[in-house]
A = this chain, B = another copy of it.
């Protein structure tokens, strides 16, 4: 593992006193601090991909509750670790949300450090997709120090295990991105547990863990075969 700088990077976010942004560059680096040094190249070449990784790693998702009554549909995951009472100080009234919306937000909570590791893992995976850009040696070294040697074209969909092409990031069908961030267990947000998945695979998995999902579809096929014989 790399030793990181972890100096505070002041921002104008009202949530800075919950958790300051920390420099993720190598300890003793020269030049300015940077929270996402591993995303620097993607930010230049494919800003929508870099932003997606940043957003999925650090913010709660909100696909299902983009409606008025739903309240904040994206919020920093570590902010969701605060109590209802603490959140009031930031103008967030959890009690005003429908219970199921509040529960879903709480499910997405994760500590800052875990989110940073998720961002690095997703970047490491993105660079190993087919058709992915090639990272600079510096970025490759940084990511490999965290998650091991990168093998080009080796990233598969977390759910269906088919190879993923980087080009899918750039495609959207009916306004929806074709690649989503998936979780082996949808209620755990950490580097070990995340990956990329086809949108349709992620939707099919739903609230199930991957082992639950595979068991479920195996049982479906068994019943279909039984009824055909």
**Complex contacts, A134 vs chain B, CB 8 Å:** none
**Complex contacts, A148 vs chain B, CB 8 Å:** none
Q: Indicate how many identical chains form the complex.
A: 2
**Complex contacts, A98 vs chain B, CB 8 Å:** 175
**Nearest B-chain residue to A226, judged by Cβ:** B161
Cβ of A217 under 8 Å from chain B = yes
**Nearest B-chain residue to A210, judged by Cβ:** B224
Instruction: List 23 A–B pairs whose Cβ atoms lie within 8 Å, in order of A's numbering.
Output: A66-B67, A67-B67, A100-B174, A100-B175, A156-B223, A159-B220, A160-B220, A160-B223, A161-B220, A161-B223, A161-B227, A162-B223, A200-B206, A203-B203, A203-B204, A203-B206, A204-B204, A204-B206, A214-B220, A214-B221, A217-B217, A218-B221, A221-B221
Residues of A participating in the B interface, judged by any CB pair closer than 8 Å: 66-67, 98, 100, 156, 159-162, 174-175, 200-201, 203-204, 206, 214, 216-221, 223-224, 227
